[in-house]
Amino acid sequence: MLVIALAAAAPFGCARERSGPSRVVVVTIDTLRADHLGSYGNAHARTPVLDGLAREGVRFDAAFSPAPLTLPAHATLLTGLDPDRHGVRHNGVFTLA
């Protein structure tokens, strides 16, 4: 979920003025640890695309997930609602309206 916050928040966290339409890129990677990415200091990591996104956008030192499971966390990311509001509680057995 770390990279989700990085990619999704990048256009909103900058003070730079932009010309033309803004773009939001959402990249989701399940169970990725920050210490396995070059942009978070791992000199041996081979993650050039993710490192480039971090370099060109906004990189956060801390990101928090509303749920420890992928489906409820994604539902929150896409709706802005916490799991108790959107109703998705587990992977695989719930659907989001």
Q: Model confidence over 6-65: pLDDT tens digits? A: 444 555 555 566 677 777 777 888 888 899 999 999 999 999 999 999 998 888 888 888
| Single pTM value for the model | 0.64
Contact partners, residue 83, CB within 8 Å, separation at least 6: 66, 67, 72, 75, 76, 89
Q: Is the pLDDT of residue 87 over 70?
A: yes
Residue pair 93/75 in contact by the 8 Å Cβ criterion: no
Contact yes or no for 66/83 (Cβ under 8 A): yes
No. of H helices and E strands in the chain?
4, 0
How many whole angstroms separate alpha carbon 26 and alpha carbon 57?
A: 12
